[in-house]
Structure 1
Amino acid sequence: MKIGIIGAGNIGGNLTRRLTALGHDVSVANSRGPHTLTDLAEETGATPVAVRDAARGAEVVVITIPLKAVPDLPSGLLDEAAEGVAVIDTGNYYPRQRDGRIAGIEDDGLTESRWTEQHLGHPVIKAFNGTYAQDILDRPRPAGAPDRIALPVAGDDDTAKSTIRALIDELGFDTVDAGGLDTSWRQQPDTPVYGLRAGVEDVTKALSEASPERKPEFRG
């Protein structure tokens, strides 16, 4: 598939490494410009591009940037993406450590990915937000392996969700359908599933044990 990755930090960089290794056509962008991605491009064969060009023709787009930077993404970012593009949001809200107070989340009660979706004007699938970046490189396992990790995947677009779950399976991980975006608080920071390295049964259990109440340390 043609895949655009916006954000070349730990998650974005390692997804670039794995997805290119699997034979996908990957374009990668960051806020500092394509000239800063030369090393990653040489290592992986990915194409470094400007953010505004990352989604052009893409069947999958990964948004993996700090939440506070989402409103700064170019308008019409997905206008030239492939029809039916599936968009992955890996973001998390860290109001005290990084993002500051976001009124849509704090006052309006939006989940993190619903807030991101509204800014993008396109459905998103929440995935990889609680995944250790190094696990993307080190922990892939074949289907059926007893130590295969499962990742929660939330979203309202069933077709896009199926596309993303199949891609995650190809990357070497199981998935658990975590429901729609309005209940994706079940996999936000400081929930039982966040950072959990476990299989389908334990991930399903952890999702069921989450509370929608955001703890004070995760409020602005």
Structure 2
Amino acid sequence: MKIGFIGSGNIGQVVAASAIQAGYSVVMSNSRGPETLTELVKKLGPQAEAATAEQAAREGDIVVVTVPLYALSQLPDFDLDGKTIIDTMNYYPQRDGQIAALDNGSTTTSELTAEHFPNAHVVKAFNSIYAADIKTTAKPKGDPERRTLPIAGDDATAKKIVTELIESIGFDVYDAGPLHEGFRFQNGTPAYCARVNRSDLIQLLNQAKE
């Protein structure tokens, strides 16, 4: 299975490296063009290639949108009909500008992503773990210290696809529910970037308030 990355920052690079180790291939892109990704692709190895964002969206069986939130509205409406999108984004008003619908809790970053790509299936994931932790806290399945990561989404098949990816790179997964429930593990909540197991994660998720 191939994963297309729209954005190749810290999270994108580490998820790509971990996915390659788990047997996936990746297509990396950024806003500056594939020629700026030569060294990254060389570092990632033969299972990686550089492309435009449009190519990454087209070629990926899964598409990871991992750009600053302010850049979401600048992305073209790629042909993502029926595809699974992983949204890793968080809202930082000092960087992204004030967004009233996020400030008042009426929507979430992932719901904004779903509005931007209305024919795709968005799953919120990888937003509540530091990039470095993806590499350093991954554990084999069955390890008593294996960390649990939350996801949220409206499509069961898409969540299954994302769950399989996350489990393959060293984490258990807890399905927090529909896409709106992603508010429970956005930045500023008790569950955000918590290094915990399933039961402790559920307790933290339940502490979140809209």
With normalisation by structure 1, the TM-score equals 0.90
Q: Which residue of 1 aligns with 2:117?
A: 120
Matching residue of 2:209: 211
SS in 1 for 2:59: coil
* Residue equivalent to 2:2: 2
Paired residues for 1:67-146 under 5 Å: 67-78=69-80, 84-96=82-94, 98-106=95-103, 109-121=106-118, 122-146=120-144
> Tell me, which stretches of 5 or more residues in structure 2 are unaligned?
none
Structure 2 CA distance for aligned equivalents of residues 103 and 34 of structure 1: 35
- Offset of residue 107 of structure 1: 5.9
**Alpha-carbon distance in 2 for matches of 1:28, 1:193:** 29
Matched, 1:186 2:184: yes
- Flag the 1:182–1:193 CA change in 2: closer, same or farther, 3 A: same
- Asked if structure 2 preserves the Cα contact closer than 8 Å seen for 1:86 and 1:125, the reply is yes
Q: CA deviation at 1:181?
A: 1.2
Say if 2:57 and 2:78, in contact at 8 Å, map to a contact too: no
Q: Distance in 2 between matches of 1:107 and 1:147?
A: 36
Which one-letter code corresponds to 1:120 in the other structure? F
Deviation at 1:161, TM superposition (A): 0.3
Contact 1:7–1:65 under 8 Å retained in 2 = yes
Corresponding position of 2:37: 37
Query: Which runs of 4 or more aligned residues in structure 1 lie more than 6 Å from their structure 2 counterparts after TM superposition?
Result: none
8 Å CA contact 1:4–1:58 kept in 2: the answer is: yes
Identity between Structure 1 and Structure 2 (%): 45
- Cα RMSD for the two superposed structures: 1.4
CA deviation after TM superposition for structure 1 residue 85, in Å: 2.1
